[in-house]
Structure 1
């Protein structure tokens, strides 16, 4: 029995959410593959300031966070226990620490100390404990996104706000300049996207209770499968891509 509506069929997953997350995984993989090609000298692109690449990153992260919010709405509606939530959270947090360690090995001057997994780990806790806000989640999400512009305004009129750019505080997102790091997903404004995902999920589950269990096209089945294993794929795809490109570079030197 759903706590917010009529009984729902006993399905293990919502294929629509998984397929949407899988689409984000494919997009992310292609983006990282191009980044790696650039790192190894096969491309000549500016991934740090060219809008073609920076906007893609924004859309990819946004899609992941919206899916994370949708997933939390489903988990809560199905009565996910605190134990199961914290077990999953521990997996995300452990992977975040592994990303920090591996990125420090590869990019010691710009390693990832608060990237997408770090951000998701913090946001999951906030979203979990604010799930009862109902429609106020829409407003909270909008305010979180607006904080990006409010922070920029505050920095322009108050020089003392510069301390928020320091590494001990910039994970909050109240910055006037992006820190030197390979991936940066601060709490604000990105929390707003996960809040909106939670709000959208709660609305859909309440007013369209069977939306997620609809059959998806057969062509989208691989995306749904990929979406179910998104964390594993996230952790493995870069080592594989970098390993292959490193092997190809080594073969070129032997010729």
Structure 2
């Protein structure tokens, strides 16, 4: 995801909220473009294979449109969370660059690096606090350990603090032993020095939101109609009833 970054300022500069608004105006279109692109590349056969057909039968779903909206909305929700998480990561790096001269890290598993008060901070940025299972958390901790070794090859006395930063949510016990976990207000204050930033960034994020969402909804409704027509042709009998046997065979048959 290519963001338009301004040159970062010197260490610990006061954050100008106009800079955030300008960044959002220049870059929020990337998020909306990717929302529409995800619809343009979606295929009915792909999402039908990912979803549980028994669940629809158990919920007494009777129409093609109900099934289509259910599977498409689930796909969109998951995709948007990922895409917007990437976008917020770019915003966080931009803000940190303005305040602490931070930069996007080139080390695997680390998204942001910056220095403050003689300490090098290495940050893995996630959307929310419940982003991964135990194996994924273990991988992050391993990446932090590797990053520390890499950074200390040129300076063995370098103080390093590892942080899992989450753009929203809460975690009341941030000290995890091998790293810190800062969520929501704590995260945005950590990267900016501003304890109210987490609420101040809400307003700029709405830049042209209605216009962008109207464009998305046009593509969304066209796709719902197109997929519904395709589903009826493939998985409904002449009376209009869903052929559940055929649908389950497409989803699960080994042959």
Structures share fold, TM-score greater than 0.5: no
Larger strand share, 1 or 2: 2
**Relative contact order: is structure 1 or structure 2 higher (C-alpha 8 Å, sep ≥ 6)?**
1
TM-score, normalised to structure 2, is: 0.29
TM-score, normalised to structure 1, is: 0.29
